[in-house]
Structure formats: C-alpha cells, structure tokens
C-alpha cells in the first residue's frame, strides 16, 4: 500500500482525550476511577437552552442552516461582543462553527501559508501546536517560566519572533495554568503584535469562569487591535454545551471571508438546532452561568485548602477556568510518570504537564469540574500517594 499522510502521522493524538479514554476503560472494568483529565463542565446544559432546541426540532428545524450561522445567532453574538467585551462586530465578521476546535482550526487554515510561524505561550492547550502543524505552519514555543508565575514578558516575546512569524495565540483564562492575563501583559502583547504586524488569535472560551475578582478583557477591544485579532469563543464551557458542538470566531472581514469559504468546503455549518440553543443561551438569563461559576468557586477553594495540607504538591494560583495545575515539589519523576502512578495506584485520571509543552514538565493538570464527592476522594488518594512519589 502507498504511504499515508506523513503530516497527519507526525501529529500525536490529543493526550487529554487518550487519558479520558483510559479512565473510561478502567471504569468499565468496575474500578472506581475518577476522571480529572477532561475539560468539560459536569453540569447538564441548562433546561431553557435544551428546551429551545427541542422546540426547534419539533418545528422541523432539522435542515441545513445558513453555513456561517443563523441570523438570530449572529445578531446575539454581535450583541454579546458589544455588551460583555466592548468589541464592535458586524455579522459578516463572524463564522459559527461546530465547536471551538473548528473555529481555531479554520482560523489557522485561513491565515497561514506554508512555513509561517505561530507563537504559542507554553504551557498551552494541547491542541494548539498540532493544529498549527496540520495547517502547514511552524509552532514556536515561548516557554513562560513557572518561577515567574507563567507571566508573559515583552522581552521573551521578542526573543521568539522572526520574519516568518504570522500569528500569536493567547488563551485567557488559561487552560492549563488558570492564569488570567493582566492589563500589563495584554498591553505588552498588543504592542508586540502591532510592532511586528502579527495577528492575535485570542481564545476566550473560559472568559466567564473567573475567581477572586479576576476580570477578563478581550485584547480585540484595545486600541489598534480589532483589525488584527481573531476571537475564538463558544458555548462548551460557559453554558455546559460540550456535546452540542457550537462556537464561533469573530475576525477582521478579510479573515472571516476566507474562513467562510473554508467552512462551505469542509463542515458546511454547525448543527441547526444547536444554533437555536446557542441564541437562547446568549439572549436568555445568565443565572445558570453564575451558578456554575459559584460551584467551581467552592470546588476550587476546597481543593486549594486541602492541598495545602499535603506536603509535596503545590497548586499554581487559579484565577480562572476549572483546572488545578499542580507541581509535585518533592518528586524527580517526569509528569507522564506521575500521571501514570496516579492512575495505577490512585485510579485518578489526570493530564501530565508535558502535554502542554516543556514548560509544563513537573506539573499535572486536574479538572475540578468534577463532583465534590469525587474531589474529596481525590484528596484522600493524593494524601496517600504523593509522599511516595
Ligand atoms: C483552551 C480551549 N480552547 C478551545 C477548546 C475547544 O472547545 P470546544 O471544541 O468544545 O468548543 C477547549 C476545549 O477543551 C479549550 O480548552
């Protein structure tokens, strides 16, 4: 047989998906595995959002929708961008996509030429670098030192830029570190992007999940940034809608035009009734979002307090998103090995820090969008295992 795609062969499968899969397999054997590897709210989609989709299906809304998004959803997104992010966009700048992953992928497809470099701030979400490679770009990792609380510094950005740099990817609140970019960091990134004429791909999917008064600001709202920023956002995390596959990108018209062409020739559209549900989510009451965030606050505080009592494991500060990014301070083991021990000895499925780039080595990511009872068991198991690591 002739060789298959070398490009796809060169890309690893998503480690979080693989770890979740392994956890599910052990659970299927009857073992009490706690799945902390995924990135998914444990709540069900709020009832009024579900109902909007049921009604749409019952009314026969089961045909191809407009490829870039139903007008009512595009309007709802424009209103949301203005209301919450101080970003002015018209519907032509938007593409509604089946999931945030596709919004990221089609943005990269629409902006990159072969060999273009994309700066990724490590530790970064597992899919960024593979997506850049699948779009014939070159990921350039900018390691943010843990000792500096994973802060972005202008000097570090300058060290990694070249003539070939086209785009910089940012994610705030961050998966996996839980950092929320400060105004100073955003100023530095904005000035850097303008100085080197770069696009900024701003992944804002965790924007509502914030703690201790942390505030989210979209870099697109800053002077001179709307024309070079592509915002990625969606419904998976804020509204517990991971299975509905619904997100969007908001881009300068030139980029949106190509992303729209790309969409028509690939996935066509997101699901019709998911879009109706999305409009209900954005236009409806937001109490459901606040309730979910309150429940994350409780779980985050529980974990931070509990880990304080276990020597050998230390959490990074968690300002947003629902991940605990923990350092194993007394262990020489690599993060992959630590995750394996946690799975084998503690039946805890986690994601090793190395999956988020070299800068994540020594860390393990735990999702705390997990039932409180399971988090209590997690802490008990960690207290037993960590001293021997
Ligand atoms: C940082 C980040 N961006 C984007 C996504 C994509 O989410 P989805 O494709 O479910 O909308 C995720 C999901 O885990 C994520 O963590």
Q: Is the pLDDT of residue 22 over 90?
A: no
The three-class DSSP label of residue 197 is coil
**What are the boundaries of each domain within the chain?**
6-45+287-388, 63-283
From the list 177, 276, 178, 180, the residue with the least C-alpha distance to 219 is 180
How many angstroms separate the alpha carbon of residue 332 from the centre of ligand 1?
31
Q: Is the dihedral of CA 27, 32, 33, 36 positive or negative?
A: positive
CB 380 within 8 A of CB 311: no
How many angstroms separate the alpha carbon of residue 132 from the centre of ligand 1?
15
Mutate to test the pocket of ligand 1, among 236, 246, 275 (most ligand atoms within 8 A of CB): 236
pLDDT at 316: 86
How many angstroms separate the alpha carbon of residue 204 from the centre of ligand 1?
9
How many angstroms separate the alpha carbon of residue 128 from the centre of ligand 1?
10
How many angstroms separate the alpha carbon of residue 32 from the centre of ligand 1?
27
How many angstroms separate the alpha carbon of residue 41 from the centre of ligand 1?
12
Q: Is the pLDDT of residue 165 over 90?
A: yes
| Stretch 337-350: mean pLDDT | 92
How many angstroms separate the alpha carbon of residue 383 from the centre of ligand 1?
31
| Stretch 205-217: mean pLDDT | 97
Q: What CA–CA distance (Å, rounded) separates 380 from 389?
A: 15
- Reported pTM: 0.96
Q: Return phi, psi of residue 32, to 5°.
A: -85, 70
Ligand 1 atom closest to Cα of 40? 14
Mutate to test the pocket of ligand 1, among 101, 122, 321 (most ligand atoms within 8 A of CB): 101
pLDDT at 21: 79
Token pair for 51: 């109902």
Q: Is the pLDDT of residue 13 over 80?
A: no
pLDDT tens profile 28-38: 889 999 999 88
Q: Is the pLDDT of residue 179 over 90?
A: yes
pLDDT tens profile 107-116: 999 999 999 9
Mutate to test the pocket of ligand 1, among 128, 169, 237 (most ligand atoms within 8 A of CB): 237
pLDDT at 19: 77
- Domain at 63-283: CATH code: 3.40.640.10
Measured by CA distance, the residue closest to atom 14 of ligand 1 is: 39
Measured by CA distance, the residue closest to atom 4 of ligand 1 is: 100
Q: Report the top-level CATH class of 6-45+287-388.
A: alpha beta
How many angstroms separate the alpha carbon of residue 13 from the centre of ligand 1?
15
pLDDT tens profile 278-317: 999 999 999 999 999 999 999 999 999 999 999 999 998 9
CB atoms within 10 A of CB 167: 22
Measured by CA distance, the residue closest to atom 6 of ligand 1 is: 100
CB 185 within 8 A of CB 216: no
From the list 180, 146, 151, the residue with the least C-alpha distance to 362 is 146
Residues having CB closer than 6 A to ligand 1 are 39, 99-101, 125, 171, 175, 203, 205, 234, 236, 242, 247
pLDDT at 112: 98
pLDDT at 361: 93
% residues pLDDT > 90 (the chain): 91
pLDDT at 17: 75
Token pair for 305: 């307090």
| Stretch 183-200: mean pLDDT | 98
pLDDT at 26: 86
Ligand 1 atom closest to Cα of 234? 11
pLDDT at 41: 93
pLDDT at 379: 97
Q: Which of 68-82, 151-165, 347-361 bottoms out in mean pLDDT, i.e. has the lowest?
A: 347-361
């Amino acid at each position: 047989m002739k060789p298959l795609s070398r490009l796809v062969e060169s890309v690893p499968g998503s480690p979080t998906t693989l770890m979740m899969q392994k956890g599910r397999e052990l659970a299927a054997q009857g073992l009490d595995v706690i799945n902390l590897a995924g990135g998914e709210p444990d709540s069900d989609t709020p009832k009024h959002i579900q109902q909007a989709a049921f009604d749409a299906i019952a009314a026969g809304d089961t045909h191809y929708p407009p490829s870039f998004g139903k007008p009512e959803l595009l309007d709802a997104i424009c209103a949301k961008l203005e209301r919450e992010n101080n970003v002015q966009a018209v519907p032509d700048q938007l593409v509604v996509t089946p999931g945030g992953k596709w919004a990221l992928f089609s943005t990269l497809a629409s902006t990159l030429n072969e060999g273009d470099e994309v700066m990724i701030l490590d530790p970064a979400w597992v899919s960024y670098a593979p997506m850049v490679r699948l779009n014939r770009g070159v990921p350039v990792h900018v390691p943010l030192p843990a000792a500096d609380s994973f802060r972005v510094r202008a000097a570090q950005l300058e060290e990694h830029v070249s003539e070939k740099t086209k785009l910089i990817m940012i994610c705030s609140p961050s998966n996996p570190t839980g950092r929320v970019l400060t105004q100073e960091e955003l100023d530095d990134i904005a000035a850097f992007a303008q100085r080197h004429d770069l696009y900024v791909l701003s992944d804002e999917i965790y924007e509502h999940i914030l703690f201790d008064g942390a505030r989210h600001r979209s870099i697109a709202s800053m002077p001179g940034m709307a024309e070079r920023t592509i915002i990625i956002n969606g419904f998976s995390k804020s509204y517990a809608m991971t299975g509905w596959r619904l997100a969007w990108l908001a881009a300068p018209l030139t980029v949106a035009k190509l992303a729209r062409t790309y969409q028509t020739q690939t996935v066509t559209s997101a699901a019709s009734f998911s879009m109706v549900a999305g409009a209900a989510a954005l236009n409806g009451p937001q109490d459901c979002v606040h309730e979910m965030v309150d429940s994350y606050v409780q779980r985050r505080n529980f974990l931070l307090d509990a880990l304080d009592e276990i020597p050998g494991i230390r959490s990074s500060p968690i300002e947003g998103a629902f991940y605990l990014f923990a350092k194993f301070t007394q262990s020489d083991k690599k993060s992959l090995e630590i995750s394996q021990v946690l799975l084998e000895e503690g039946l805890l499925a986690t994601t090793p820090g190395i999956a988020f780039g070299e800068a994540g080595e020594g860390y393990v990511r735990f999702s705390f969008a997990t039932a409180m009872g399971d988090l209590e068991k997690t802490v008990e198991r960690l207290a037993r295992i960590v001293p021997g690591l």
